[in-house]
Structure 1
Amino acid sequence: MIRAVVFDFGGVLVDERAAAQRLAGWEAHLGWPPGSLRQHLYSGAAWEAVSTGQISMDAYWARVGAPLAAALPAAFSAYRDSFHGAQLDAGMTALAWQLRARFALALLSNATLSLGQRLQQETDLAGLFDVVVISAVEGTRKPEPAIYRLVWQRLGLPPAACLLIDDKERNTAAALALGMPAIVHRSVAETAQALRDLGILAG
């Protein structure tokens, strides 16, 4: 029986479409292939290091930001300053609050320390989560098994009682391999229907 729902942040609770459009525009300006800028920023050794708390945000941007700062100084500075600042997805936030009435809720995110700062400032999320697990704080990240174990241990529940909602299949696959049920999030409507199918959300 499901007793807790575990939410990812980026791509689930926040709407990243505007940020994706900005990145696509910068790729065109730089002459980079589609998708390459996101890969440059969010994969590789620098991102893994900052998202597990091994280096600071300043050190991260020093490693990955040089070509962008030179070519797009004003726009890049604004993007850097608004990191983890994507707008909340109103539909998913409302869905989470609806589930809050019946289930314990947790946040599990591969993110930098700045996400913790945003959560303290975001009034729409105040009091929503019983447990918050951020990779940069814990020194481990999805899809590594250790970070999933932290969530269910802090919830005080077995993995089978904790449902993960994440937008990346590699993360949901890792959860399933550990005995933790999971939904791949693609849209509010699809996730809501999946929750109804599981009997977690009323019709």
Structure 2
Amino acid sequence: MRYHSIVWDMGGTLIDTYPSVDRTLARVVRAHGEPIEEDLVARLTRRAIAVAIDELSERYGVPHTDLDAAYARLKRSWTTTPPPVMAGAREVLSHVRSVGGRNIVVTNRDRTSASALLAATGLDVDDLVCASDGFPRKPDPQMYRAVLDRNGLDPADCLAVGDRAIDAVASRQVGLDCVILETPGIPVVEDGERITDLRRLIDLMAGDQPISPSR
């Protein structure tokens, strides 16, 4: 077994948050009389939701506060109607436990939102670290360094999984190999291993397929 533990990103990786975010932000723009396709919003949110809100506000003249408020309402709604767990995520989480590894989440999301999402979806993880715990946001590597240290994990025994370039940049700085979950049709500007189905991680953990190197 090449890897035993996984350090996960949350939104867009473990939990399929993007479609509802894309719909919500597009709806706000349309409410201000501007036509917009959700795939355009999707390309922005895959960089960062904050980036999407900034650019949509500037490009379409939509008040920043309206976009912020809509996103905040959406996050509150997830406590009772959460977005779906990403296909294959439960299988991989179970596989990690079966080989004696740990499932750890590192997210830029605030702890209240992250904890609520985990509770609402019923996902059981071994550790959670959030930027709101006092860490710089990704791509700074400090959250990854903290979870490795406090869980006593060797980076060589762990695989990082995310959906954006910042996940790869941050995790590789502490010696983790990283796999990017890519949304078909929305490329991530980052070299390295990419997958479109989380279940491929089971083969990658076994070491049957080499991890593509970064630049």
TM-score by length of 1: 0.69
Which segments of 5 or more consecutive residues in structure 2 lack a partner in the other structure? 55-62, 184-194, 209-215
Give CA deviations for 1:89-121 in whole Å, capped at 9, x if unaligned.
253133212322112111111101322441563
Q: Provide closer, same or farther for how the CA distance between residues 142 and 15 of structure 1 changes in structure 2, counting only shifts above 3 A.
A: same
Q: Provide closer, same or farther for how the CA distance between residues 179 and 25 of structure 1 changes in structure 2, counting only shifts above 3 A.
A: same
Task: Report the AA paired with residue 111 of structure 1.
Answer: R
Deviates more, 1:92-101 or 1:115-124: 115-124
Q: Provide closer, same or farther for how the CA distance between residues 86 and 174 of structure 1 changes in structure 2, counting only shifts above 3 A.
A: same
More helix by share: 1
> Counterparts of 2:103 and 2:159 in 1: how far apart (Å)?
10
Q: Provide closer, same or farther for how the CA distance between residues 160 and 15 of structure 1 changes in structure 2, counting only shifts above 3 A.
A: same
Out of 150, 165, 171, the position equivalent to 1:169 is 165
Shift of 1:197: 3.6
Q: Provide closer, same or farther for how the CA distance between residues 116 and 12 of structure 1 changes in structure 2, counting only shifts above 3 A.
A: closer
Match of 1:18 in 2: 20
Secondary structure of residue in 1 paired with 2:206: coil
Q: Give the length in aligned residue pairs.
A: 177
Out of 76, 79, 102, the position equivalent to 2:74 is 79
Q: Provide closer, same or farther for how the CA distance between residues 104 and 76 of structure 1 changes in structure 2, counting only shifts above 3 A.
A: closer
Out of 186, 191, 196, the position equivalent to 2:203 is 196
> Counterparts of 2:71 and 2:200 in 1: how far apart (Å)?
38
Backbone CA RMSD of aligned residues: 3.4
TM-score by length of 2: 0.66
Mapping for residues 54-65 of structure 1, pairs under 5 Å = none
Percent identity, please.
21
> Counterparts of 1:144 and 1:24 in 2: how far apart (Å)?
30
